[in-house]
A = this chain, B = another copy of it.
Amino acid sequence: MSELMSAAWELDAEDPLAGVRERFLLDDTVYLDGNSLGALPAHVPGRVEDVVRRQWGELRIRSWEESGWWTAPERIGDRIAPLVGAAPGQIVVGDSTSVNVFKALVAAVRMAGEGRDEILVDATTFPTDGYIAASAARLTGRTLRPVLPAEVPSALTGRTAAVLLNHVDYRTGRLHDLPGLTAAVHAAGGYAVWDLCHSAGALPVGLDEHGVDLAVGCTYKYLNGGPGAPAYLYVRRGLQGRFDSPLPGWNSHAEPFGMTSAYTPADGAVRGRVGTPDILSLLALEAALDVWDDVPVARVRAKSLALTDFFLRCVEAYVPAGRVENLTPVAHAERASQVALRCADAGEVMRTLIERGVVGDFRAPDVLRFGFTPLYVGFADVERAARVLGQVLGTA
């Protein structure tokens, strides 16, 4: 057994989260794509079957009350809340991340008032945030200005209405300084909107602690909610009364079954709801969140860093020099839960890796992306992934 294999064995033996893997349906594949689609928690199929057969099939319309369908968006929001450092009553689940970015950004601009006519957006953002921010700017008569996250502090002015940032860069895995940037936005009198897609479930976010104004995130990556599972919207409690949604659907009405033609927004997080919630996907997500019941996020973060540290160490040992370039920050404070390696023939390399049982993903034009979900990825997986990568790149 090689030194790295032994090291992996020891790290797995000492891993307090090792047993959590059994809560998922996995196979021999090394699955390093949980930052794109989380694996299936083992108890979810049974729960979904109950939702379909009994709740829909037998109770039918009665389930809106009896099975708790109607309140699912806010109930599941409260399940996500502790994972992102939010007290209850500030998160609702529903719609896609893109739609929630729209709600959050338009609402933030409205909070900022007429005098502030500029929206800043992370120039390196996952594209949809930029497209939606452009639409929000157009519809609210503001100017959109893309800036690099590091340049946000110097770009803030009295004109800044809102700043849309990614907690983690989806390509490089760089973790941005949420506390510092939020404080800077606030010092300039603007509102900070954070996209947590690549951080929630992988590391502590601390929304309340750091005074984030609004946040959105998906649930199908590190939260394992299933393909296209509904996203969530956080609105800080102190701002909820001023949350003026551009999508005021009937589910956000103070009396949704009053069926009145005048819109009166509900109080609280519910104000972020829009139309009828997507029950099958929502309740699959609710079930998926059970795996977190005894799992502290701090422990997940510690393991995540250990996994990525070990992966970088194994890559250095196994991969021929010069074949890949690490794009992910080495400093822990700047690293989330993935490693991105630049590689000239990344598309072809990833195809081969997948054939050999190591699943990551390819991001155009030249990035191999490996996500490490601490709930079910172990150190032996990491060693094997790097070893197979070394074999593929050594013989290519």
Contacts and interface: CB of A to CB of B under 8 A. Distances in A.
A261 B227 contact: no
Contacts of A69: 227-228
Interface string A25-55: 1010001010011011000110011001101
A279 B226 contact: yes
Contacts of A132: 247-249
Contacts of A391: none
B128 A280 contact: no
A96 interface: yes
A108 to B, nearest CB: 15
A359 interface: yes
Nearest to A129: B250
Nearest to A97: B275
Nearest to A220: B276
A230 B57 contact: no
A165 to B, nearest CB: 15
A250 B280 contact: no
A300 interface: no
Interface in A113-154: 123, 125-128, 130-132, 134-135, 139-140, 146
A275 B96 contact: yes
A361 to B, nearest CB: 7
Interface in A352-384: 354, 359, 361, 363-364
Contacts of A359: 60-61
Given A36-B61, A134-B248, A227-B280, 5 more contacts: A37-B56, A40-B52, A125-B261, A218-B276, A280-B280
Interface in A218-238: 218, 220, 226-231
A12 interface: no
10 contacts: A39-B60, A45-B49, A69-B228, A99-B274, A131-B253, A132-B248, A139-B246, A171-B259, A227-B279, A228-B280
B275 A278 contact: no
Nearest to A36: B61
Interface string A239-257: 0000001111111010001
Provide the main secondary structure of the chain A interface: mixed
Copies in the complex: 2
Interface of A: 25, 27, 31, 33, 36-37, 39-40, 44-45, 48-49, 52-53, 55-58, 60-64, 69, 95-99, 102, 106, 123, 125-128, 130-132, 134-135, 139-140, 146, 171, 218, 220, 226-231, 245-251, 253, 257-261, 263, 274-282, 284, 354, 359, 361, 363-364
Contact of A96 (B58, B231, B249, B261): B249
A250 B98 contact: yes
Contact of A61 (B37, B130, B253, B280): B37
A372 to B, nearest CB: 15
A183 to B, nearest CB: 27
Nearest to A38: B60
By Cβ-Cβ distance, the 10 closest A-B pairs, closest first, are A96-B275, A98-B249, A98-B275, A227-B279, A40-B57, A128-B250, A228-B278, A139-B139, A131-B263, A228-B279
A207 to B, nearest CB: 21
Given A132-B247, A248-B131, A99 B98 contact: no
Nearest to A363: B259
A169 B258 CA distance: 16
A63 B134 contact: no
